[in-house]
Structure formats: C-alpha cells, structure tokens
Structure 1
Amino acid sequence: MDHAELQIAPPRPAHGTGASRWLALDWLRGLSIIGMLLNLTPGAWEKQYGWMVHAKWEGGNLVDMVAPAFLFCIGAAMPLSLSHRMNMGQPTAALWRHGLWRAAVLVALGLFLNAYPVFDPAHLRIPGVLQKIGLAFALALSLVLLTMRRTTGGSPHFRPYILIGATLFILASHWALLYFVPVPGFGAPRFDPVGSWPAYIDRQLFTVPHMFVWWPVDGKVVFDPDGLLNAYTSSASVLIGVLAGLAHMSGKVRRPAATAFAAGAAMIVLALALSGICPIIKNIYTATFVLFSAGFSLALLALFSLLAGLSATSVLLFPLKVYGANPLLAYVTSFLLAPLFDYSWRFAGGAASIRSAGQAALSGVFDPYAASLTFGLIYLVLQFLVLKACYRRRWILKL
C-alpha cells in the first residue's frame, strides 16, 4: 500500500500477531485512552477527585500523565510499524507519504472536533490535543526516517544514538529558550502562563480568540495547553517511546521489565533534580515534564511487562486491549457525543441534560465526587461494549 487513507479496516499486524504482539504496550495505550476519556466524561465538572483534575500550573496529578503516555505509545509502536512496512517492500518515499498524511489528517480532525458542534470560525480554537499529536508525530517520524538506513536486504537500520541526541537537543533547546532568551515585554527566565515563550508565541500566532478559553488567568485567556511549542517538546515524548520500541525490537535487553523500570525511575529523579531551574509544567510542556512523564510511562510499561507473563491478566486486562486497539474511534466518538450529554432534553417534568440528570441520580447513591466518577465509568463500560463488537469484527478506525 503506497498511500495512506482514513479507513475502517482490519488492523495490520504491525509488530506481529498473537503472542508476538507487544501486549504490555497494547495495555498501556488502552489505559492512556481510558484515562483521557474518563477525564472528559465526569458527571459534574466541579465534582472531580483531585487526581482527575489537571494541575493548574507547576507539578502534576495522575491525569497529567495520561496524554504523555499516549505520545510515548505512539513512539514505541513507530519502529515496529516502519519495520513491518519496509519488510513488505514499501519504499522510503511511501513511508514519508503515509506518515505525513497521517499527521495532516490528525491536525484536520482536531480542528473539526474543536469546531463541532457550533462551527464558529471567529472563535475556533486552533491548537488542540490531536493537532499537537499530529505535529509531534510528524517531527519525530521525520527524525527517525532521516536517520534511518536500509540494509542490503531492505530491512531498516535505526540509529538510536542519533535519536538520543535529537531528544536531548529538543529538551535542552526548549529549556534554554525559556531560561535565557528574553520574551518581548517580559524578560527571562519565564515559566509562567503569561510571560513564557510558549504563551507569548501562541498569542501572537493564533490570537486570543482562537485559544483555549477554559483556564483563564485573572479573567484573561493567555496560554493554550496544546500550543505550538508544546508540540515541539511533545515530539521528545514520542522519541523516548521510539527508543523504548527499538530496545524491545533488539531483543538484547535481558531483563526488559527491570530495565524499563530503572530507566523510568532515573528519568523521574532527574526531572525532580532539575525542577529548580526548569519547573515541571504540563501546560507549557517543559523539558522536566517530558522526563517525568516519560519515566512514569516506562514504569507502567515495566509493570505491564511483568503482568504479561501471568495468564490471568490477559482476561482481566482485556478491556485495555480493546481500547488500545481502537483509540482514535474511542476518542472521536466521545467528542461527538459530548454535546448530547450537555444538551437540555425536554420531558414531561421539565428539561435536563443527560450529564446533570445522571449526576443527580447517582448522587442519591454515592457522594457527589464518587457519583461524578461513576458517571464516567458507566460511559466507559457502554463504549467498551461498542468497541468490543468492533474488535471482534476487526473494525479499526485508523490512519
């Protein structure tokens, strides 16, 4: 296949089938998309447990680890997918076309979801989660393809040490920009939501009417959590995943779970040690946030690698595999359904939204915070039933 298309089709065995699949990665990808959707479907936005609420600025909660884990999974699968395509005889040009088209469609889909259901061009938010993923994927893929070579047999020869250098350059250059280069009108160093380079660039490039409006500072929209520079450092999260994928492919790591955990712990410790000069901030995706979140992803991957050796876990964690097999479909349908949850439906006794009615009903059984979480879990179970049917029929929404 020399071109890419958005399709519902049987999944390609990008890195083997059956037992040869990287089950731990499938589970981690599934857990990350479940975390994203659980955060997007509470019964009441103001009644969420602290671990489900994004950190306002510095530091982080459990939910802040979700999106970086998904980026990590994208990277980990990349060398496996590229190897599969190249071993099937696809030329390098086809890899470029497929990858960049995939990135472009992600950006376009993200813009559509931002516009839906109002479609008001004057206030369309231009940055977004899918846009950031698309740009980060494009940059990471470009670095992988530019440094990759083909063997005489047509198989790929990756260069992990160059990719390590590229990852360090991205992180160091982003930090140096924020720490040393004065922001016009604000100076340096700036890691705040108003005067930092990511916030300043987004205001100049996208303008305030086209930015994220839900987290204002002193009543003003000043930054976007998925802005342009955030995509730049997000590519480092993808590249760290690529390196994990290359280590897995090599088969030379004797104790992969222990190695992944040790590497993850080292990255977390390094991030904490450097936080004095580079704060851990998700909203501007600082270098230390990349290190901390990637370390967290590696630690989870290590845990899942251990669990993959236990027969009972395949049954218990099957929902993670189902969600991990169809993350784009799960994410898109959640956004398409969200307005229906908040629409004020009329009935004999008056009018109410599904979200408010569900929260009210569940609050009669649980405390308000548990009710809000339960609402999201019920949605996930219902969506799982749909995704499971798709999984059984091998209907996968993919790029």
Structure 2
Amino acid sequence: MTNSTAMRWQALDWLRGLSIIGMLFNLTPGAWEKEYDWMIHAKWEGGNLIDMVAPAFLFCIGAALPLSLSKRMKAGQSKAVLWRRGLWRAAVLVAVGLFLNGYPVFDVAHMRFPGVLQKIGLAFALAFSIVLMATRRSANGEAVFKPQLLCAAMAFILVSHWALLYFVPVPGFGAPRFDPLGSWPAYIDRGLFTVPHMFIYWPVNGQVLFDPDGLLNVYTSCANILIGVLAGLAYMSGKVRRPVLTAFAAGAALMAAALALSGICPIIKNIHTATFVLFSGGFSLALLGLFTLLADLPKSDAVLFPLQVYGANPLLAYVTCFLVAPLLDHNWAAPGGAYASIRSTGQEVLSRGLDPYAASFSFGLIYLVILFLVLRACYRRHWFLKL
C-alpha cells in the first residue's frame, strides 16, 4: 500500500471504476446459469455490454499513461529508468495473474497460463515501450509526445493482425480464418500453452479450442491502450474546445468504422480482432465523454462516489474478488448436517422474494456493496494498491 494525495482525472476515475465493477459483477453472480443476457459474453461474433468492460479498463490504463510519464520525466527520471519500471510493473501483473489462476489449489499440471492480468501486463509492456519510443525530453525537461507515431503504431498493429488472419494460411486450415478452431490466435494458443493450460469454461462442441486472453490477443489489446493514450494526450493538451462532443464524435467514428469493416474482419472479442478494438475503443471514448459531461453537473461527485472509490483502487478490488471467490463456493457445514456454499445459499434465499435472474443479480450487487465498504475505508486513509 502507498499513500497518495495526487489530483486525479475524475471522469477517467469514474470510467475506470465502472469498468472494474463490471469485471467483478461478471465474476460474482448468485447463479452462473441465471445471468441477464447483457452480462453474458458473446459466444463468438458480435458482443454484449459485458464485452466492453475489459477494453474500457485497457483504455483507462492508456489514458493515464501520458500524465504519469510527463510527471516522472519532469522529475528527472531517465527513459531507461522509466522503461525498467514499466517492465517491472508488467512482470508483477503477470506474476499476480498466474498466482490467482492457480489459487487456491495450485495444480500446475492443469493451471491456466493465460489470464486477464497476464494480458493486461503484457499489453501494457508493449504499449509502454511504444509510447516511450514516441516521446522525447525537451530542453526544460518536459515530455514531448508524438501522437502521429502512436497513431501509426496503432494502425500497424490492427492492420497486421487483420492481414495475418485474412491472408496467411493456418497450417491444416487455410485462410482467411476467424473461427475458434482454425484461426491463428486459437492455433497458436493450443500449440504454445496446450489445452490443459487454457480457459476451459467456453468449450466449442465439448472441446477447448481457444483462450480469450491468449497471446495474439495481447498484441491487439495494446491498441486499446494506445487509443486511451491518445485520449490522455488530448486531455493534457487543453486544446480540445468541446471535449464532450469530441469524445462522442471520435467514439462514434470508431464504432462506425468497425461496423463498416466487419464484413472482412468480424467483430470478435475472443480473438480480439481489429474491428473489436475499434468498436470497444469507440465505446470507451463515448463513456468517457458521458462522464466528462456528468462531471459538470451539481452533486455528481456524491452520486458517483462509488465509482471514484473503485476507480482509485482497481487492483485491490480485482485481487480481493479472486481471493474471496473460493470462500463463496466452498461447501460449508450447515444446520442439520448438510453442506452448502455461500453463493448457492444466497441465491436460494434471494430467490424466495425475487425472480431467479434478479436474485442472481442482487447477489452480485450485495457483494459489490460489501467490497465497496472495504475500499472506502482504504480510500479515506489514502491506501492504494499500486505497482
């Protein structure tokens, strides 16, 4: 834990808070089979609201990056020091992700190697390196960013990923392939990680074929971060005269481009296609515009305070959720010699007065309220889990 009294970009904190809440909501239903449609990830093409959550978090990482780099470079830190620090943060994220994947059993023979934190860590390392290469220090020590280079890097990532899937034949499958069996992301993950170490909960016809956080997904996830970096640079410049309108317009343009290109590059979250990056990045920009608009309304601070709390401490919220999850699903001794988990008991009790889907939703909401109380105590003491 570290103390922090730094001023924060409030709209960005709210967006980060909403994204981490969405990620945790998806992990804490009362019953997995009783979730509303918008909380269920798309099986393959297209997307639901929940599919926009993780990319929004990547966007927030990127948006905060120029502010952090500018501050550190002005304080005299060299690019070599910054790069080592960035890679260390990425390595710790990967290590924490692997730990959470194994917890609490640590069955190495069947432990999943890819994961959300691993993808975030590796994508951050790549994006951070790109941003650092596109930045120089001015004579007075200020960081000078080159957005044109960042745009070019983002375009290269998206076009090269699409070209690989569209033009380069997959051994034994050919091209183009955007399916869970014969696409390059799925093919590489099966060969690199092997099936026992991949995500097992979304099988296709009973077989584990892909991992939604696989290696090639890291590559295009970097582009989500770079979209955030460009938004952060626009915010820092102070030259955007109508930030709300600009965010909405830029977001709409990216989403429209994704839809227009979906005929040759389907929008698929599970292999993080270029069009999925464009659509989810545009959605994140639109949400940032909405929160920027809300920031000017009276009492918005009080109404959105829970988002502020979650957004200021996302890593602590995420790690806590994974550490608590086995306790929710453990079969505890109950009266009468029976055994039941907290999750199933909560779902059963709530279902007595609510529709099963509403009960499942309410269970997750209750969990988030309890976690909020913990995070609020940390927030008031300026305790933030940082890397």
TM-score when normalising by structure 1 = 0.96
**Structure 1 equivalent of residue 204 of structure 2:** 217
Superposed displacement of residue 12, structure 1: 5.9
2:171 partner SS: coil
Which ranges of 4 or more aligned residues in structure 1 deviate by more than 6 Å?
A: none
C-alpha displacement of 1:311: 2.3
- CA-CA distance at 1:11 after TM superposition: 2.5
Cα shift readout 1:44-98 (whole Å, capped 9, x = no counterpart) = 0000000000000000000000000000000000000111111122121211111
5 Å-filtered alignment, 1:130-149, equals: 130-149=117-136
Q: Report the Cα offset of residue 301 of structure 1.
A: 0.3
Q: CA shift at 1:107, angstroms? A: 0.4
The aligned residue for residue 378 of structure 2 is 390
Tell me if 1:365 matches 2:353: yes
Are residue 62 (structure 1) and residue 55 (structure 2) matched? Answer: no
Distance (whole Å) between structure 2 residues aligned to residue 384 and residue 11 of structure 1: 19
Shift of 1:347: 2.0
Which 5+ residue runs of structure 1 have no aligned equivalent?
1-7
1:12–1:184 distance in 2 versus 1, CA, 3 Å: farther
Give, in whole Å, the separation in 2 of the partners of 1:98 and 1:397: 16
Match of 2:4 among 11, 14, 17: 11
1:5 aligns with none
Q: Choose which of 154, 157, 162 in structure 1 pairs with 2:141.
A: 154
Distance in 2, matches of 1:53 and 1:186, equals: 29
Give secondary structure in 2 for the equivalent of 1:239.
helix
| Alpha-carbon separation, structure 2, partners of 1:252 and 1:102 | 31
Residue 355 in structure 1 maps to residue 343 in structure 2: yes
1:302-332 deviation digits (Å, cap 9, x = unpaired) = 0000100112111000000000000000000
Structure 1 counterpart of 2:365: 377
The residue matched to 2:131 in structure 1 has which SS? helix
**What residue is the counterpart of 1:182 in the other structure?**
169
Question: Aligned partners of 2:180, 2:139: CA distance in 1, in Å?
Answer: 51
Segment of structure 1 superposing worse, 196-205 or 341-350 = 341-350
- Output the CA distance in 2 between the equivalents of 1:303 and 1:260: 8
1:291 aligns with 2:284: no
In the TM superposition, residue 281 of structure 1 has moved relative to its aligned partner by 0.2
Aligned residue in 2 for 1:312: 299
Deviation sequence 1:8-55 (CA, Å, 0-9, x none): 011262xxx2xxx31110100000000000000000000000000000
**1:122 corresponds to:** 109
TM alignment of 1:235-250, pairs within 5 A = 235-250=222-237
CA distance in 1, matches of 2:26, 2:119: 18
Residues 1:50 and 2:43 aligned together: no
Percent pairwise identity: 75
> How many pairs are equivalent?
386
Question: In the aligned structure 2, how far is the partner of 1:295 from the partner of 1:144?
Answer: 20
Report Cα offsets for 1:143-192 as digits up to 9, x if no partner: 01112110011111000000000000000000000000000000000000
Structure 1 counterpart SS, 2:385: strand
| 1:178-235 residue CA offsets vs partner (Å, 9 max, x unmatched) | 0000000000000000000000000111111110000111111110000000000000
SS, match of residue 396 in structure 1:
coil
TM-score normalised by L of structure 2: 0.99
Question: Aligned equivalents of 1:396 and 1:28: distance in 2?
Answer: 17
Is residue 84 of structure 1 aligned with residue 77 of structure 2?
Answer: no
Matched, 1:26 2:26: no
Secondary structure, aligned partner of 2:248: helix
C-alpha distance in 2, partners of 1:153/1:347?
68
Q: Does 1:226 align with 2:219?
A: no
Amino acid at match of 1:10: N
1:149 match: secondary structure: strand
Amino acid paired to 2:363: F
The aligned residue for residue 3 of structure 1 is none
Q: Aligned partners of 1:262 and 1:348: how far apart in 2?
A: 58
Q: Determine the C-alpha separation between the residues in 2 that align with 1:192 and 1:272.
A: 18
Query: Please, which of 262, 277, 280 is the counterpart of residue 275 of structure 1?
Result: 262
Do structure 1's residue 333 and structure 2's residue 326 form an aligned pair?
A: no
Could you say what the CA RMSD is over the residues aligned between the two structures, in angstroms?
A: 0.7
